[in-house]
């Protein structure tokens, strides 16, 4: 069974075994508006928790996407290069950004679960 | 996710007004309640609470305007009437004011004593009226009006209480005709007093999108009723400031405080076309000697980046050896082109159409070409000769 956690920067991370998938939350996608470009990290890139991992551009602005936990990038969602609007259509599904192998699963466990994230969003 | 690390979204829409004082009381246009009702996402802009977009979003609002018709609230712009010796306005602008015919509107630059650009504005001579009707930018309106009043003996009456709507797009004439019969006879830059939905208005066939369309000045009390009447037409969608910005950028039109400001003169800004022929010959405007002396050292140009990554305002422009030759003043994604678009200033040697340059985005060179503007052809309804 997969487990999904969230950051206060509005990324989500889903852990399936050893591999984690990362994207931005529905809240983030709605706040950004129409996504027109996504810059994805190279496969094999090592990222630290909180480090810059990707960039998402809406019509109005550029935003950084941070790695929710440290690890090595194993795959990217190349569909987004041609269809960045997938981020708006299905941010927590087909609009995923990249996959990574985590260095330390404890970093994942420290993140907010869906109930905590929902509560956090309510405070914004 | 952090929005605006390199590009602050509020900044992208600010017209030269710094919105830093949290306690600042934002003004509202007469359409504020309607914006909320329509689900407008309100943001601070030039001292006003304005809708940056409505629920359908910037992309759809932009495309709808190009394909059908969009209604914009631009009541934050500074309207007013100049009376007395209106030709004296030529002391502050290089535009031909004296030669403006009745029923016509014209674009002008308001210049500092040094000939740099204090603002850009529209001025109109309504049929049978001695006053000039002015529309200046929102963020600069108080300063502009004080400047004009100080420099000229003419008296200037601000009408910041008036509303201004823009109805833009290929179906704008057809839609407005239903509420202002006869209005579709106007051609580009014509201006008249006419009734729209029974309300007295000043209507010009102008806009800031590159499309055919109208700008409709109304008494504040009539604005909501007229806006509702226009929005009641099936072709019309409300459009916010986000799409207004992407539309004007595709149309190659300058945003004051970004593409032009007091550090630039009309020659550098590639706005020499706004200087009247008589004025060029006479050289009788502020800074004329330096503006008319020939090719400026830098020039405003259009830029088309390769690929899909937008380059934003502030990005450096480099030549192919990596030497910085300029900076972007506007940049974003053009929904109609389905590609990024930008404008900026480069050293004049690099201003020729087709010159390859690099835009520095996130520390990496993004190849781009200097390109002709407008990026999307203007659809103005010019008179047939």
Please enumerate in sequence order all residues whose Cβ is within 8 A of that of A115, keeping only pairs 6 or more positions apart, or say none: none
Judged by a CB distance cut-off of 8 A, whether residue B121 touches chain A is: no
Chain segment A20-50, per-residue pLDDT in tens:
999 999 999 999 999 999 999 999 999 999 9
Predicted confidence (pLDDT) at residue B10 exceeds the cutoff of 60: no
- Sheet bearing B132-136, strands edge to edge: B104-111, B117-125, B132-136, B78-83, B155-158
Give residue B18's Cα distance to chain centre.
18
CB contacts of B8 in chain A (<8 Å) are: 61
Domain-located, residue A37: yes
Domain-located, residue A17: yes
Domain-located, residue A117: no
pTM attached to this predicted model: 0.93
Token pair, residue B363, equals 């520390």
Which pLDDT score, from 0 to 100, does residue A18 have? 86
Nearest CA in chain B to A7: B1
Inter-chain CB proximity B332 and A60 less than 8 Å: yes
Judged by a CB distance cut-off of 8 A, whether residue A9 touches chain B is: yes
CB contacts of A36 in chain B (<8 Å) are: 59, 308, 310, 333, 335
| Closest among A74, A69, A71 to A106, alpha carbons compared | A69
Chain segment B212-268, per-residue pLDDT in tens:
999 999 999 999 999 999 999 999 999 999 999 999 999 999 999 999 999 999 999
Q: What distance in Å separates the CA atoms of residue B56 and residue B63, rounded to the nearest whole number?
A: 11
Inter-chain CB proximity A56 and B8 less than 8 Å: no
Inter-chain CB proximity A60 and B59 less than 8 Å: no
> For chain B, what percent of residues have pLDDT higher than 90?
92
Please state the three-class secondary structure of chain B as a single string: CEECCCCCHHHHCCCCCCCCCCCCCCECCCCHHHHHHCCCEEEEECCEEEEEECCCCHHHHHHHHHHCEEEEECCCCEEEEEECCHHHHHHCCCCCCCCCCCCEEEEEEEECCCCCEEEEEEEEECCCCCCEEEEECHHHHHHHHHHHHHHCCCEEEECCCCEEEEEECCCHHHHHHHHCCCHHHCCCCEEEEEEECCEEEEEECCCCCCCCEEEEEECHHHHHHHHHHHHCCCCEEECCHHHHHHHHHHCCCCCECCCECCCCCCCCCCCHHHCCHHHHHHCCCCCHHHHCCCCCCEEEEEEEECCCCCCCCCCEEECCCCCEEEEEEEEEEECCCCEEEEEEEEEHHHCCCCCEEEEEECCEEEEEEEECCCCCCCCCCCCCC
> What is residue A11's three-state secondary structure?
strand
- A84: domain CATH number is 2.40.50.100
Closest partner residue to A34 (CB to CB) among B57, B309, B310 is B57
Confidence of residue B1 (pLDDT cuts 50, 70, 90): low
Please enumerate in sequence order all residues whose Cβ is within 8 A of that of B352, keeping only pairs 6 or more positions apart, or say none: B370
Q: How far is B362 from chain A (nearest CA, A)?
A: 10
Inter-chain CB proximity B5 and A63 less than 8 Å: yes
Q: Which residue ranges form the domains of chain B, and what is each CATH number?
A: 9-58+162-250 (3.30.1360.120), 76-160+265-288 (3.30.70.1400), 297-371 (2.40.30.110)
Q: How far is A19 from chain B (nearest CA, A)?
A: 21
The complex scores an ipTM of 0.88
Domain-located, residue A67: yes
Domain-located, residue A124: no
Predicted confidence (pLDDT) at residue A112 exceeds the cutoff of 70: yes
Q: How far is A33 from chain B (nearest CA, A)?
A: 7
Interface of B with A in 313-342 (CB under 8 A): 332-333, 335, 340
Which pLDDT score, from 0 to 100, does residue B19 have? 44
Cα distances (angstroms) measured from residue B240 to each of A112, B71, B214, B246, B337 = 35, 8, 16, 11, 19
Which pLDDT score, from 0 to 100, does residue A1 have? 52
Predicted confidence (pLDDT) at residue B185 exceeds the cutoff of 80: yes
Confidence of residue B2 (pLDDT cuts 50, 70, 90): low
Predicted confidence (pLDDT) at residue B187 exceeds the cutoff of 80: yes
Q: Confirm if B333 and A85 have CB atoms less than 8 A apart.
A: no
Cα distance between the two ends of chain A: 30
Chain segment B309-322, per-residue pLDDT in tens:
999 999 999 999 99
Which pLDDT score, from 0 to 100, does residue A118 have? 96
Structural domain harbouring A76: 3-105
How confident is the prediction for chain B on average, in pLDDT? 94
Predicted confidence (pLDDT) at residue B194 exceeds the cutoff of 70: yes
Query: What is the torsion angle, in degrees rounded to the nearest 10, for the CA atoms of residue B222, residue B223, residue B227 and residue B229?
Result: 0
Confidence of residue B348 (pLDDT cuts 50, 70, 90): very high
Domain-located, residue A122: no
CB contacts of B3 in chain A (<8 Å) are: 31-32, 61, 63
Count of domains for chain A = 1
- DSSP strand pairing (B69-73 vs B236-238): parallel
Average pLDDT over residues B375-383: 97
Chain segment B33-89, per-residue pLDDT in tens:
999 999 999 999 999 999 999 999 999 999 999 999 999 999 999 999 999 999 999
Closest partner residue to A61 (CB to CB) among B4, B53, B362 is B4
Chain segment B261-299, per-residue pLDDT in tens:
999 999 999 999 999 999 999 999 999 999 999 899 999
Average pLDDT over residues A68-95: 96
Interface of A with B in 61-120 (CB under 8 A): 61-66, 81, 84
Q: What distance in Å separates the CA atoms of residue B267 and residue B351, rounded to the nearest whole number?
A: 13
Closest partner residue to B7 (CB to CB) among A31, A61, A81 is A61
Q: What distance in Å separates the CA atoms of residue B132 and residue B115, rounded to the nearest whole number?
A: 22
Domain-located, residue A12: yes
Confidence of residue B14 (pLDDT cuts 50, 70, 90): very low
């Amino acid at each position: 069974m997969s487990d999904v956690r969230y950051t206060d920067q509005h990324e989500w991370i889903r852990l399936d075994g050893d591999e984690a998938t990362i994207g931005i939350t529905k809240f983030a996608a709605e706040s950004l508006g129409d996504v027109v470009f996504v810059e994805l990290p190279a496969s094999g890139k090592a990222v630290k928790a909180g480090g810059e991992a990707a960039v998402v551009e809406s019509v109005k602005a550029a935003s950084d996407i941070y790695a929710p936990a440290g690890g090595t990038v194993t795959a990217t969602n190349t569909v987004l290069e041609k269809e960045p609007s997938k981020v708006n259509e299905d941010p927590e599904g087909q609009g995923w950004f990249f996959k990574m192998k985590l260095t330390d699963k404890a970093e994942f466990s420290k993140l907010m679960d869906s109930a905590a994230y929902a509560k956090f969003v309510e405070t914004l | 996710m952090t929005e605006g690390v390199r590009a602050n979204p509020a900044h992208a829409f600010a017209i030269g007004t710094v919105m830093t004082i949290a306690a600042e009381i934002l003004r509202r246009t007469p359409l504020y309640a309607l914006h909320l009702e329509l689900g407008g996402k309100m943001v601070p802009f030039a001292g006003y609470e304005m809708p940056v977009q409505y629920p359908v979003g910037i992309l759809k609002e932009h495309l709808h305007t190009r394909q059908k018709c969009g209604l914009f609230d631009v009541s934050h712009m500074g309207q007013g009437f100049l009376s007395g010796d209106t030709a004296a306005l030529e002391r502050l602008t290089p535009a031909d004011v004296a030669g403006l015919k009745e029923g016509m509107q014209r674009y002008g630059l308001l210049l500092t004593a040094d000939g740099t650009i204090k603002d850009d504005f529209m001025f109109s001579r309504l049929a049978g009226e001695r006053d000039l009707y002015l529309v200046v930018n929102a963020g600069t309106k108080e300063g502009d009006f004080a400047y004009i009043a100080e420099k000229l003996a003419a008296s200037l009456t601000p009408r910041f209480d008036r509303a201004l709507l823009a109805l833009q797009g290929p179906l704008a004439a057809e839609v407005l005709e239903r509420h202002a019969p006869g209005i579709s006879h106007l051609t580009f830059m014509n201006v008249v007093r006419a009734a729209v939905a029974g309300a007295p208005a000043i209507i010009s066939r102008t806009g800031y999108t590159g499309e055919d369309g109208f700008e409709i000045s109304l008494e504040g009390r009539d604005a909501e009723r007229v806006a509702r009447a226009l929005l009641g037409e099936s072709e019309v969608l409300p459009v916010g400031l986000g799409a207004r910005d992407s539309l004007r950028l595709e149309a190659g039109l300058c945003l004051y405080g970004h593409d032009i400001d007091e550090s630039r003169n009309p020659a550098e800004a590639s706005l020499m076309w706004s200087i009247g022929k008589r004025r060029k010959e006479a050289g009788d405007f502020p800074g004329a000697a330096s503006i008319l002396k020939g090719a400026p050292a830098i020039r405003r140009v259009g830029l088309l980046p390769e690929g899909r990554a937008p380059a934003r305002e502030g990005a450096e422009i480099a030549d192919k050896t990596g030497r910085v030759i300029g900076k972007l003043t506007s940049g974003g994604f053009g929904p109609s082109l389905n590609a990024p678009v930008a404008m900026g200033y480069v050293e004049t040697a690099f201003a020729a159409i087709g010159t390859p340059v690099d835009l520095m985005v996130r520390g990496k060179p993004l190849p781009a070409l200097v390109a002709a503007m407008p990026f999307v052809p203007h659809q103005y309804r010019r008179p047939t000769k």
